[in-house]
Chains A and B, each alone.
Chain A
Amino acid sequence: MEEKVKISEPEEEIILNMGPQHPSTHGVLRIILKLSGEKIVSAKPDIGYLHRGVEKLGETVTYVQFLPMLDRNDYLSATTNELGLVLAVEKLANIPVPERAQYIRVLFSELSRLASHLVWLGTFCLDLGGALGGGTSVFLFCFREREKILDIFEKMTGSRMHPHLMQYGGVRYDVYPGMDKDVKEILDLMEERINEYEEMLVNNPVFIDRTKGVGILPKEVAMEYGCSGPVLRGSGVKYDLRKAHPYSSYDKFDFEIPVGENGDVFDRFKVRMEEMRQSVRIVRQALEGLPEGPITSQMPVKVKVAVRTPPGEVYTAIESPRGELGYYICSDGKPNAYRLKIRAPSFSNLSVLPYLLKDHLVADIVAILGSLDPVFGDVDR
């Protein structure tokens, strides 16, 4: 069963235009495939269908106005988006952050990582299994759990998807009374369910068959392409910005960085599953060690120009669920950035797609693309 069926080379190559409207391109990706029978000769991704000019917007509106817009960028984990910019501006303007706020940031970053990975798991299996089949079951199970996490967001901030939780110098909302009970309930549930899903999928020979040995990404290539997050770690590089350059008091938390071995789709799957477990651990620690004190060093002011930065340049990066999410700000002392660059993890992760797809079968496209987990709000910006 090891080798593939040898499909004799036809003389003509088909050009197949996959997307931008396609059920499994996770948004609006278009891939121009050159096929020889079922085999992919070359793949050209075409992005930009969701380009909204966020970087230009970041230059025209003030920092305060820009923050809620970032929720729409990587819409599956909105809090981490905000956290990146908030950290960059705080570093440039030297705004202190109380420890309680830092813990709340960590707590919600990890909750949104859980939610984001749940969506990933669901859609990944949906791609593998098909909308009318086993895949849908996993998809719906995952969304059931995700909804519970989003309920916490809603109770805390009033919004499920776009919480706008961060603020320069802290967070906008303190934890509501009884939140630790709610969160602990979800964590207990999640621990159980993660094991359940992993068992269900890893013990499924069809799933193993579809993922093992497919889309192998060697270490060196992953680094050259600037892949980050689970994609990099799946290739066996033990690199996590939460450990490498700790931010927001991540150094006080005890967690491990899971790594893969071969860098195939299955390894990326394993890494993400393990990451979910680690997130649960971090959230538990954050809840237990939540210090008393103020949640922000600056009073919330309803003025657009509440934050000014001194002239200068800064780059901070955080570990979003998809990888290194960085913000480069070039400031000239005004309340808005002179230039704001978003280093999107999905963008770099997706750029490795032509390399990965070559010489695979059409059916592997969805598995490989799903394992990269791009969010197109993030890719196109």
Chain B
Amino acid sequence: MLLPLVVGITLVTFVLMNVIPGDPTISLMDPKRGQLDPQAAERIRQRWGLNDPAYLQYLKFLFNAVRGDLGFSFRFNQPVTRIILERFPATLELGLAALVIATAVGVPGGIAAAVRQGGWLDASLMGFCVAGVSMPVFWLGLLLMYLFAVKLGVLPAGGYGSPSFLVLPSLTLGLSSMAMLSRMTRSAMLEVLRQDYIRTARSKGLAERVVVYKHALRNALVPMVTVMGVQAGWLLTGAVITENVFGWPGVGRLLVDCIGQRDLPVVQGCVLFTVGMFALVNLVVDVLYAYIDPRIRLGR
């Protein structure tokens, strides 16, 4: 199941980046200096294997990618892998901060709403959730930027550096995940709280706090972790937008910059790298399932 998928993903990425008409050596030329000398172009083609048949190029690409070599960027004059790894810590920082914000607010919020179903807290939280899911990330980012950077002047509008730079981007990125997570937590908790064993727990006189956090929450965790996994995938692409709003020097900004510059090896590398991260997150989620719920065993 996995192998055809890996082949498919790399094939899609490879084909996408190679159907673009035009000779890649042209991008090496300085337009001011006019035509590249044809012999030099031929030498470059030879050196980078651009004259090989497509399937051979793909196999080379696949073989190199497996070894962590994603090609070479002529614009940066550096290996693509190194460029991406330089940018990745910033993206990771942003994504983790957003995930922490989403979890720290979303989970307790969802639990509180489920416990007092129909109350004002529940109603306002659900309203916030619908708005949070419908809110375009980039607009939210601009609004926060306007409020905190332009009007109040308390936080930087963009850039990278001390922790204060992280506040607005991570809030921007985390908000919709927060909304999704609290909605899912609420419905998972409601589902569990209705069950018989919760009534048993209550009737034997356990404190409500113990019933909610010890008995109910544990069983509500599985759907919650699922949502967190989905959200982590969303955070990866949401980061592309957020990084571009705030000028955050991560992989997402690199991707969009390089599309603009037609630096295709880097674009290809960023896409493949992000898909890899996404797959890794999904793997972690699967392992977490087994940890949370002993009934689910890997490779049954």
Q: Do A and B bind each other?
A: no
B interface residues (Cβ-Cβ under 8 A, vs A): none
